[in-house]
Chains A and B, each alone.
Chain A
Amino acid sequence: MPRLFVTTRSGEVVEIHGESGSSLMEILHGNDSGIAAICGGLCSCGTCHVYIATDWLDKLPGRQQLELELLRELEYYKERNSRLSCQIELNDDLDGLSLTVAPHE
């Protein structure tokens, strides 16, 4: 199972093993990583916000218009690293992916 290195809001780095095919949101949510993900993955609430480590950005599919719209609404949006974790599906190529949970809005 691919591994994720998640920097939580308290600054701690935790290693999480996720199932390929699951969204990052589902994995983070299942591991109590502090994301609310209130809409449950519909790309409609902006509460599963994470920062992807710069080295990994190129390995991810690009942001769709809807995701970008939601991200731009957020106070802690970072143009380069911000993603909604519900829009990223984990796969074996992403083994070792490093990300940070964005601050609470």
Chain B
Amino acid sequence: MVLRNAWYAAEASSVLVNNLHGVRILGEDVLLYRKKDGEVAALEDACPHRKVPLSLGKRCGDFVECAYHGLTFDASGSCVRAPGTGSVAKRARVHSYPVAERYGLIWVWMGDTALADPHAIFHVDNWGDPEWGCTPIDSMVVACNYLYITDNLLDPTHVAWVHPTSFGDLACAETPLRSVVLPSGVAVSRWMLDVEVAPFYAKFVKFTGNADRQQYYEVRFPSHAVIRAVFAPAGMGGPEGRHCPDTFLMDSYNFMTPVDEHTTRYFWFQMRNFAPGDEQVSASFATSVRAAFEEDKRVLEAVHKGMQYSRTPHIDLPSDAGPTRFRRRLAELIRAEETVLSVGSGNALSADTA
């Protein structure tokens, strides 16, 4: 169950130099490569002859040559050369995916090409602002359905158990959560007033003593999240809090790309409102965040396996309210998309028989 008419993060930009690179997204194999002008091309990674992945072939300027019989395709997916085959080139074609590069990531549109609008790519706040620091893109493969990760990213409660030595403390377990449905997704948040600063953040906050902490978790369709962490000196935060220069802000961006039903590629980076050029801070962030996400991976892979068994039916907890609302809305969008598709193919059939 996936939304096709959406942009998905396919790969970190830095991976593409002059290589051919294959990735799998929504069960489809996609070839990525950089043209001479630096622009990225994304093609169906299968030569139409015997479906040999084009990523096994050779890049020839802006073209790619199949490793089997030399059929050669341009970035639009047209075959420009089919050695010794007469007119074969005219009917040989691979799908060319709309592609864009943003925030150090390559984004691929998996749906109807006519609907691809690069403006719809997830918006990252403060990107390019010299006051803000940013960690490099990192990623991992998680052996679970992508919706277990979106569930997790709408559930601030798990941090008390899954990340006790980094992001969590017990206030995270006890304070009630509010979920809100937004046009673009679902947000879950809470303020925890006058609490200790959790271990990961304690290294970076500029003030001493307790903090007013906000957890703000927002997941947007199809599967992209921003997790905002706010630590204000105690008394300065809360829903009506004032701006304070010492307030720590970290926005963690999380982009989940379904590889298939059972596997997800998970990309992330963090933006912070301090130490913009400090590589040590970036490295420390990167290490801690990766360690925490390894903790998530361990649990989520177990969830994926565990949910296949139902000797005793599973139950939901109050913390599942946000995830439930997100899944409900996403399912609606997917249904709407499928309806359009089936109406579309119905028309095609009637046109054929007419």
Interface residues of A (CB under 8 A from B): 36, 38-40, 42, 44-47, 69-70, 73-75, 105
Contact A42:B178 (CB < 8 A) given known A73-B328, A73-B329, A105-B328: yes
Measured CB to CB, the nearest residue on chain A to B317 is A38
Complex Cα–Cα for A45 and B177 (A) = 11
Closest 8 pairs (CB-CB, A-B): A45-B321, A39-B321, A38-B316, A44-B321, A44-B179, A40-B318, A39-B318, A38-B320
Give the Cβ gap from A75 to chain B, nearest Cβ, in Å: 8
Give the Cβ gap from A60 to chain B, nearest Cβ, in Å: 23
Give the Cβ gap from B247 to chain A, nearest Cβ, in Å: 27
A45 proximity list for chain B (CB < 8 A):
179, 318, 320-321, 324-325
Chain A interface SS verdict (over half): loop
Residues 241 to 262 of chain B near chain A (Cβ within 8 Å): none
Q: Mark B321-344, 1 if CB is under 8 A from A, else 0.
A: 110110011001000000000000
Give the Cβ gap from B258 to chain A, nearest Cβ, in Å: 22
Give the A-B pair count, Cβ closer than 8 A. 46
Q: A36 and B325: CB pair below 8 A?
A: no
A36 proximity list for chain B (CB < 8 A):
316
Give the Cβ gap from A23 to chain B, nearest Cβ, in Å: 15
Q: Is there a chain A Cβ closer than 8 Å to B88's Cβ?
A: no
Complex Cα–Cα for A36 and B329 (A) = 18
Complex Cα–Cα for A61 and B323 (A) = 29
Interface residues of B (CB under 8 A from A): 176-179, 181, 316-318, 320-322, 324-325, 328-329, 332
Give the Cβ gap from A102 to chain B, nearest Cβ, in Å: 14
Give the Cβ gap from B21 to chain A, nearest Cβ, in Å: 40
Give the Cβ gap from B54 to chain A, nearest Cβ, in Å: 42
Measured CB to CB, the nearest residue on chain A to B329 is A73
Q: A42 and B176: CB pair below 8 A?
A: yes
A-B contact pairs, 14 of them (CB 8 A): A38-B321, A39-B321, A44-B177, A44-B321, A44-B325, A45-B325, A46-B324, A46-B328, A47-B321, A69-B181, A70-B181, A73-B325, A73-B329, A105-B328
Q: A38 and B324: CB pair below 8 A?
A: yes
Q: A38 and B181: CB pair below 8 A?
A: no
Give the Cβ gap from A26 to chain B, nearest Cβ, in Å: 14
Give the Cβ gap from B184 to chain A, nearest Cβ, in Å: 14
B328 proximity list for chain A (CB < 8 A):
46, 73-75, 105
Complex Cα–Cα for A84 and B318 (A) = 15
Q: A47 and B181: CB pair below 8 A?
A: no
Measured CB to CB, the nearest residue on chain A to B327 is A105
Give the Cβ gap from B165 to chain A, nearest Cβ, in Å: 29
Measured CB to CB, the nearest residue on chain B to A45 is B321
A42 proximity list for chain B (CB < 8 A):
176-178, 318, 321
A40 proximity list for chain B (CB < 8 A):
318
Complex Cα–Cα for A44 and B324 (A) = 10
Further contacts, 18 of them, CB under 8 A, given A38-B321, A42-B318: A36-B316, A38-B316, A38-B317, A38-B318, A38-B324, A39-B318, A39-B321, A40-B318, A42-B178, A45-B320, A45-B325, A46-B325, A47-B316, A70-B181, A70-B325, A73-B325, A73-B328, A75-B328
